[in-house]
């Protein structure tokens, strides 16, 4: 045996062992070895691959962590269209669907398979001779996006099938994030001051379609398969057999399917899952019903978008009646007062709920919700508690309309309504409640990126009178940090190092961190690029603010905010202290020539929620290709990119005749740039 063949043999042995134990751990939930033993196998494999890089393959377990960011996703055409399902929104519609099956087929042929419907992102996987070679999203059903690099990061997805299958095999299913993973992901994003995902599906879609596989790897996605394309090649004749074969291949599946031979069986299954869905680890919004015998499906055919032999029964959103005991008012980073209805605990969509945001005075007035009222509460996306309506038939006598206080509930300062918006705001910039939230934002990832300076640490520092402003962060001593609760020597040093690193943050991040009203991450970046010095921006904002209004993308509202903020004496003192601490006040990067860049002189406006990236990430991508973005739509706008739940910018674009791009069209434009 030569020196080259020995590591090659050992690498293959290790990969088989690791794949086997990964399958037991992630798919079967029944590990045979300890984490330490698993880590030892992985470490040995990494060491051999480091010594012999020519042995590294894309399907090696070491490659799951994700490679370098991608420039865009390649388009891929599905050999067989990936269709969606028609929905049954109530039991009558489901009964009508089953009646059509019974009218056409004999009693022995009307068996169906029921499964919980996974609320995720549909994908198609390709295996060649049992080895995973790639996969794609559904896209428009005919053309999807190649997300192979991101799929490889999903630990529940085997790179090699457990049962040998020769030739080409295509399997379809859903990528999702379970409820625990979703909560952890949103908690981490909230800690960093990032926009929260609305629901698990939104999180899964955004995670799988991010251009950086390393970020996908951190999201702990799951995948569940339910369809084999061309099942007849494997001798499969029914849906039940297909699911059994998927399991035998070592592919993850829900395992909650049931064979039903009557409408009563189907309804009993739905009744059971309408309650069980809240305990299910995966977010499910209904039950899928499919004709079991594959050969009979051609009898019914398909519509342009969906097969006629299957249907998705959608659960109605659960809502519960609760009595409002009080309305709490909290104060946020910018001083905005937020009312929250507090009620006796109710069990809603699988969790205990005691509170639901009422958002602002306009929402309170719209609902006419009062202390003592009975309200109907549901969960938006089965995650976020929301007040749907007041049950006026149960309103107690003597209730009074609720008005937000005229004074801040934390510091007692005057609270006034902001012109043109729904918010009521505390006017005291030194309000302790605002201070904590402002410092939390200052330290967030999109601002100064001070890892470790989270809410609990900030609470302690403020309560000990060690923090009164952003500048105080840079006066903290290591011994003061080490004396905080749950801060050992290593944690203290890590935070101290993070504070020191933050001094070198780019100018756009520094401007964003200051928390100037109406100045978000994108506008801060634009200001940094335009003025390239915080002191220059300060002088123009304070002395020549009319010039700002002429700057593309600024406008009167932002110019006025900058003028007011930079004109306040305490903010001038803050800037002096930050500069003295060594914070970066200049952008000294070389200005790139954008004249020959693919999106040069093209202006975009972004509206709605994008699933593949945040709007901030989209703006950075546009900028990297020479384009610009603006916050408002005008006749000078070249394209408006529209995601889910677009706002008034979408309507204005239609009114002005500005070209509109869907997210898919936008991604295609980026890929072709």
Across the range 386-408, mean pLDDT stands at 93
Mean pLDDT of the chain, nearest integer: 85
**What is the Cα 462 distance to its own chain's centre?**
31
CB 223 within 8 A of CB 254: no
pLDDT digits (tens, 9 = 90+) for 490-512: 888 999 999 999 999 999 999 99
Give residue 192's pLDDT. 56
Within a 13 Å sphere around the CA of 475, how many CA atoms are in the beta-carbon half?
A: 14
Q: What percent of the chain has pLDDT over 70?
A: 91
Instruction: Classify 128 as helix, strand or coil.
Output: strand
Give residue 35's pLDDT. 59
pLDDT digits (tens, 9 = 90+) for 15-71: 888 888 877 765 565 667 765 677 678 878 888 888 888 888 777 877 655 444 455
Kindly state the tokens that stand for 648. Answer: 């008034």
CB 123 within 8 A of CB 139: no
CA-to-CA distance for 151 and 125, rounded, in angstroms?
9
Give residue 120's pLDDT. 87
Buried b (16+ CB within 10 A) or exposed e, 517-534: eebebbbbbbbbebbeeb
Kindly state the tokens that stand for 169. Answer: 């095999």
Across the range 260-271, mean pLDDT stands at 95
Kindly state the tokens that stand for 122. Answer: 């549909």
CA-to-CA distance for 111 and 309, rounded, in angstroms?
11
Phi, psi of 469 (to 5 degrees): -160, 175
586 is catalytic: no
pLDDT digits (tens, 9 = 90+) for 162-214: 888 999 999 999 999 988 888 788 777 655 556 667 678 878 888 888 877 77
Q: Which of 16, 75, 117, 464 is catalytic?
A: 117
Across the range 107-125, mean pLDDT stands at 92
Q: Provide CB contacts within 8 A for 165, sequence distance 6+.
A: 127, 129, 130, 234, 249
pLDDT digits (tens, 9 = 90+) for 444-478: 988 999 999 988 899 899 889 999 889 999 999 98
Buried b (16+ CB within 10 A) or exposed e, 163-192: eebeeebbbbbbbbbbbebbeebbeebebb
pTM of the predicted model over 0.75:
no
CB 288 within 8 A of CB 85: yes
Give the CA distances from residue 411 to residues 405, 408, 465, in Å, rounded to whole numbers and listed in that order.
12, 6, 16
Instruction: Classify 124 as helix, strand or coil.
Output: strand
CA-to-CA distance for 260 and 279, rounded, in angstroms?
23
**What is the Cα 406 distance to its own chain's centre?**
36
Please report where in the chains the tokens 């896209």 appear, as a residue: 139
CA-to-CA distance for 343 and 341, rounded, in angstroms?
7
Residue 550 predicted with pLDDT over 70 = no
Give the CA distances from residue 120 to residues 186, 201, 204, 205, 616, in Å, rounded to whole numbers and listed in that order.
17, 5, 7, 7, 24
Give residue 1's pLDDT. 38
């Amino acid at each position: 045996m030569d020196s080259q063949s020995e590591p090659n043999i050992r690498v293959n042995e290790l990969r088989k062992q690791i794949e086997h134990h990964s399958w037991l751990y992630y798919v079967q939930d029944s590990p045979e070895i300890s984490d330490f033993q698993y880590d030892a196998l992985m470490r040995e494999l990494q060491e051999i691959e480091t010594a012999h890089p020519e042995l590294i393959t894309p399907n090696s377990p070491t490659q799951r962590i994700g490679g370098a960011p991608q420039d865009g996703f390649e388009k891929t055409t599905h050999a067989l269209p990936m269709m969606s399902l028609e929905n049954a929104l109530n039991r009558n519609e489901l009964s009508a669907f089953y009646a059509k099956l019974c009218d056409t087929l004999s009693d022995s042929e009307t068996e169906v398979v029921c499964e919980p419907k996974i609320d995720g992102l549909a994908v198609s996987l390709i295996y060649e001779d049992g080895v995973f070679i790639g996969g794609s999203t559904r896209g428009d059903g005919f053309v999807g996006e190649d997300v192979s690099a991101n799929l490889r990061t999903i630990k529940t997805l085997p790179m090699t099938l457990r049962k040998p299958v020769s030739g080409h095999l295509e399997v379809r299913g859903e990528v999702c994030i379970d409820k625990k993973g979703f909560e952890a992901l949103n908690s981490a994003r909230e800690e960093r001051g990032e926009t929260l995902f609305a629901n698990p599906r939104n999180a899964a879609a955004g995670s799988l379609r991010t251009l950086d596989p390393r970020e996908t790897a951190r999201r702990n996605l799951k995948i569940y398969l339910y369809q084999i394309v061309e099942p007849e090649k494997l001798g499969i004749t029914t849906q039940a057999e297909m699911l059994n074969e998927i399991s035998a291949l070592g592919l993850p599946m829900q395992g909650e399917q049931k064979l039903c031979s009557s409408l009563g069986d189907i309804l009993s299954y739905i009744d059971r899952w309408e309650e069980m869905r809240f305990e299910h680890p995966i977010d499910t919004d209904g039950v899928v019903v499919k004709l079991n015998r594959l050969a009979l499906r051609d009898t019914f055919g398909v519509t342009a978008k969906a097969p006629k032999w299957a249907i998705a029964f959608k659960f109605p959103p659960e809502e519960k009646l609760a009595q409002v005991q009080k309305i709490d008012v909290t104060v946020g980073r910018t001083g905005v007062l937020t009312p929250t209805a507090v009620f006796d605990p109710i069990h809603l969509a699988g969790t205990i709920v005691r509170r639901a945001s009422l958002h602002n005075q306009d929402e309170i007035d719209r609902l006419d919700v009062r202390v003592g009222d009975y309200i109907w509460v549901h969960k938006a996306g089965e995650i976020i508690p929301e007040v749907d309506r007041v049950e006026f038939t149960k309103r107690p006598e003597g209730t009074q309309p609720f008005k937000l206080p005229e004074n801040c509930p934390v510091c007692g300062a005057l609270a006034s309504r902001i012109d043109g918006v729904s918010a009521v705001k505390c006017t005291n910039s030194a309000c302790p409640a605002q201070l904590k939230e402002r410092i939390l934002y200052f330290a967030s990832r999109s601002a100064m990126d001070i890892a470790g300076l989270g809410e609990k640490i900030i609470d302690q520092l403020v309560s000990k009178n060690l923090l009164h402003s952003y500048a105080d962060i840079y006066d903290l001593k290591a011994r003061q940090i080490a004396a905080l609760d749950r801060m050992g020597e290593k944690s203290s040093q890590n935070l101290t190092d993070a504070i020191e690193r933050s001094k070198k943050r780019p100018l756009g991040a520094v401007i964003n961190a200051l928390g100037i009203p109406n100045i978000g991450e994108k506008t801060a970046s634009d200001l940094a690029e335009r003025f390239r010095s915080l002191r220059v921006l300060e002088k123009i904002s304070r002395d020549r603010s009319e010039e700002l209004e002429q700057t593309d993308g600024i406008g009167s509202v932002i110019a006025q905010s900058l003028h007011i903020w930079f004109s306040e004496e305490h903010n001038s003192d803050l800037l002096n202290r930050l500069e003295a601490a060594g914070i970066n006040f200049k952008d000294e990067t070389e200005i790139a020539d954008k004249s020959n860049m693919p999106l040069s002189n093209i202006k975009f406006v972004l509206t709605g929620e994008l699933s593949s990236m945040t709007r901030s990430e989209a703006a950075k991508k546009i900028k990297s290709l020479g384009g610009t973005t603006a916050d408002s739509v005008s006749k000078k706008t070249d394209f408006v990119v529209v995601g889910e739940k677009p706002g008034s910018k979408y309507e204005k674009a239609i009114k002005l005749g500005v070209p509109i791009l869907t997210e898919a069209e936008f991604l295609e434009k980026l890929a072709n740039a």
